[in-house]
Amino acid sequence: MPTVVVLTIAAIVLVHIVRTMVLSLEADDAFLRYFAFSPERYEPQSEWTIPWLGGWPAQIWTFVTYALIHGDWTHLGLNAVWLLAFGSAVARRFGAARYLAFFAITAAAGVALHLAAHVGDVWPVVGASAAISGFMAAAIRFIFQAGGPLGLMGANDEASYRMPADPLLVCLRDPRVLVFLIVWFGLNLLLGLTTLPFVGEGQSIAWQAHIGGFLAGLLLFPLFDPVKRRPLGAEDQFLR
């Protein structure tokens, strides 16, 4: 379990402890208006009576800070489990610095898509799900291939996390990757069409943010990957 993943979860837990056990309701409301992401911030003629705090700098930092805030302990616990599973795989391959940068970029990409789908919405977005979706996408770029952590010959040691990754179009020819994509996108579309029992009253799942983070992780993986890319074989030349 990489230290940077443990520290990420610790930071998320600490934020939630401070919000629920230290801050008053009024202070917590101000905290959310400083650090949660809201599409309403970007409306020049807003009719919302409670101002979002932080001015224009908050329009930048909330693209990332929202990912450290969670609605309740169930929300936090579910995200922590998925972050341990997929964030650990990516951190072992990327290293701490690239992991943190990837977390920030995929979190921002997630709420960017949410913003496009919810222009002017006053409800804040919180949670690390978009970044975790990005880690999921990055992980499938290397965990299934031969010699990788989940490959037929993978030994789940450090060497398996350093195997050169196949190009995206080659990766997409793996049936396991295709099944993962079908199930993942199917579940997220289901989230957008139904209400799940574990979602609290007055809350909804920002499924567009999940998709935005996932697509960013899938496409930006080569820019962050420190392992030299696997060259295309003769049979794959047509995919260039």
- pLDDT digits (tens), the chain, 240 positions: 899 999 999 999 999 999 999 999 999 999 998 999 988 888 765 555 456 677 788 889 999 999 999 999 999 999 999 999 999 999 999 999 999 999 999 999 999 999 998 887 888 899 999 999 999 999 999 988 877 787 645 556 777 888 888 889 988 999 999 999 999 999 888 877 765 544 445 557 888 999 999 999 999 999 999 988 765 554 444 333
Q: For residues 148 and 64, what is the distance between their CA atoms, to the nearest angstrom? A: 30
Which helix or strand (DSSP H or E) is residue 6 part of? helix 3-17
Which helix or strand (DSSP H or E) is residue 65 part of? helix 55-65
Token pair recorded at residue 146:
């031969």
Instruction: Provide the pLDDT for residue 234.
Output: 42
| Structural domains of the chain, ranges and CATH numbers in brackets | 3-234 (1.20.1540.10)
List beta partners, residue 37. 125
pTM, 2 dp: 0.86
Q: Which phi and psi angles does 142 have, rounded to 5°?
A: -140, -15
Taking phi over 0 as left and psi of -120 to 50 as alpha, with beta for the rest, 147 belongs to left
Instruction: Decide: 66 and 115 in contact? Cβ < 8 Å.
Output: no
Q: For residues 46 and 43, what is the distance between their CA atoms, to the nearest angstrom? A: 6
